[in-house]
Amino acid sequence: MIFQISFQLLVARGKIFCKFALNKRYRVLCRASVDVLWQKLSNLADVSWNPLLDRTNVPQGLIPKPGLIYQAVTRFTPIPIRIFVEQVDPRRLLSIRFLAIPGVENRITYQFESSVCGTYISYSVTMQGWLSPLLWWVIRPYAARVAANLARAVESQVA
């Protein structure tokens, strides 16, 4: 687990601004193959394994592509948020950005790395904005479980 946080106070034109950035990375080893993991992650309609999301408006079978914008409902509020797919490298990387609250920029990246022991799942959270500390305080316990829940869901599907 890698954790990096920065907080800066900036003075410009006689006003004080605060800049906050947070980078957190979780890494989990999974016994399933990269293909099975990618199949589970790329099914944007099924977020049952994600402790942060409840449901999406994506039709079953839609493949994530850069530029795709869809809506999701979190487990915390019934208000839908928009999610933007930034980068896709099949079987290796999926990067999405949450467009939810003004004052918070939230980017999530999933990466898969094959090894002799299995497949490593890396789940990275990058947050910027002045409301980020508050949002991080709320989602931190759930974000810590995302990669492990994905691995568990895929392993139970394979077994």
Assigned domain for 12 exists: no
pLDDT score recorded for residue 17: 64
CA–CA separation, 22 and 3 (whole Å): 8
Assigned domain for 75 exists: yes
Assigned domain for 17 exists: no
Other Cβ atoms less than 10 A from the Cβ of 46: the count is: 15
- Which domain CATH number covers 46? 3.30.530.20
* pLDDT tens track for 34-65: 999 999 999 999 999 999 999 999 998 899 99
Q: Which domain holds residue 108?
A: 24-158
What are 69's two structure tokens? 């914008």
Assigned domain for 78 exists: yes
**φ/ψ of residue 148, rounded to 5:** -65, -40
Given a cut of 70, is residue 143 above it in pLDDT?
yes
For the chain, the domain total comes to 1
Q: How would you list the strands of the sheet with 119-128, edge to edge?
A: 2-12, 15-30, 119-128, 105-114, 93-99, 80-89, 69-74, 53-56
Assigned domain for 97 exists: yes
pTM (predicted TM-score): 0.87
Assigned domain for 44 exists: yes
